[in-house]
Amino acid sequence: MKELKIFGIVAAFTLILYWGVEPFAHSQMHKHVEGDDLKYSDLKPLTVKGDAKRGESLAMACIGCHSIDVKNMPAPMDAVAAAQSFGVNPPDLSLAGKLLDEKFFAHFLLNPAEVTKSKHFAMPPSASSEQDAADIVAYFKSIAPKEVTPKEGYVFACGRCHANRYDKWTQIGDVPKTKSNIKTGVDLDALEFKKKLGTYQNKLADYMGKLPPDLSIIYRARSEHFLETFIEDPQSQLPGTAMPRVGLNHEGLEKVMAYLESTGDPSKPKREAIGPKVLGFFVIFAFLAFLWKKSIWKGHH
């Protein structure tokens, strides 16, 4: 069949063209970074076992700066005041034991700046021995809730630095629902919130050197592979960056990625639902058109 041969040639050139401008070009443009499967191999394995009971009393030092909501322990100051002291709001620790890698977490407590690979990390070393660190980690593992939503994962790991405006998330919490004055249209509560957020962001930008970008649609702007290796170790993709290595485990990474996907590519479930129907329609359409063509062309050759 001559037409099939011609079709084969057109298809082959189209595929070559596609390969050249997409997979090949991207492989040349971006340096390929291999992930470490969240093993954090640069950190030594722990040699001791943690004791959650001992950890509980050691962890009382943490609430000098952090809140632990699951234990109803509030933070000593609100987000804006914390940013004024530290440059950033220390995250709530309820999920730390669940979403952070155990080994990373323990080493982090001994030496936050070095382990996060950020030159200045506002948290001072908060454990005096490997045993203490392991105990604290064991404690946070013991108090973690069973179920975590993707958004909770994001808020814990990234939310203090990165807003997500498509989900109305700001670094100091969700944008509150407020009402404006009917007579003047002025919404004082919203302005109040804006001012607080602005103060926080100014401090955060001073601390980090720049305002961390909003991550609403980062899922479409970077490849999944980039995001995963970047979160695992920001220095691997942006050497010298101020963003810390946060030390997520597999569950933590999964939650964060699920959240980024839900705000960056929300139509995926709808595509998967409708796609097969539309394609099915056109397969039937093409088949009927083929029968029509056959009947019309009868006697022409």
Positions touching ligand HEC (CB under 6 A) are: 59, 61-62, 64-66, 86, 88, 90-91, 93, 96, 100, 108-109, 121-124, 126-127, 136, 157-158, 160-162, 208, 210, 212-213, 215, 218, 222, 227, 230-231, 238, 241-244, 246-247, 256
The Cα 288–Cα 296 span in angstroms is 12
CB nearer to ligand HEC: pick between 220 and 271: 220
Partner whose footprint covers residue 46, from another protein, ligand HEC, none (CB < 5 to 8 Å by kind)? none
DSSP 210: S
Helix (H, G, I), strand (E, B) or coil at 77: coil
The Cα 179–Cα 218 span in angstroms is 31
CB nearer to another protein: pick between 131 and 263: 263
Least Å from the CB of residue 23 to ligand HEC: 20
Residue at 275: amino acid letter? G
In the structure encoding, which two tokens stand for residue 81, read together? 């005041």
CB nearer to another protein: pick between 50 and 212: 212
The Cα 259–Cα 159 span in angstroms is 11
Partner whose footprint covers residue 21, from another protein, ligand HEC, none (CB < 5 to 8 Å by kind)? another protein
The Cα 130–Cα 204 span in angstroms is 31
Partner whose footprint covers residue 6, from ligand HEC, another protein, none (CB < 5 to 8 Å by kind)? another protein
Least Å from the CB of residue 7 to ligand HEC: 41
CB nearer to ligand HEC: pick between 49 and 301: 49
Q: How many CA atoms lie within 13 A of 261 on its CB side?
A: 12
Least Å from the CB of residue 164 to another protein: 11
CB nearer to another protein: pick between 189 and 285: 285
Which distant-in-sequence residues (6+ apart) come within 8 Å of 156 by Cβ?
A: 91, 92, 94, 95, 96, 99
CB nearer to ligand HEC: pick between 207 and 301: 207
Least Å from the CB of residue 51 to ligand HEC: 15
DSSP 100: B
The Cα 189–Cα 168 span in angstroms is 16
List residues near another protein by CB under 8 A. 2-3, 6-7, 10, 13-14, 16-18, 20-22, 24-25, 28-29, 165-166, 213, 216-218, 220-223, 264, 266-267, 270-271, 274-275, 278-279, 282-283, 285-290, 292-293, 296-297, 299-301
Please say whether the dihedral angle defined by the alpha carbons of residues 256, 219, 123 and 156, taken in this order, is positive or negative: negative
Partner whose footprint covers residue 139, from ligand HEC, another protein, none (CB < 5 to 8 Å by kind)? none
Q: Nearest CA to 134 among 42, 45, 245?
A: 45
Least Å from the CB of residue 212 to ligand HEC: 4
Partner whose footprint covers residue 69, from another protein, ligand HEC, none (CB < 5 to 8 Å by kind)? none
Helix (H, G, I), strand (E, B) or coil at 164: strand
Tokens 């006697």 belong to residue: 299
Least Å from the CB of residue 20 to ligand HEC: 25
CB nearer to another protein: pick between 182 and 291: 291
DSSP 21: I
Residue 173's DSSP bridge partners are 170
The Cα 172–Cα 195 span in angstroms is 11
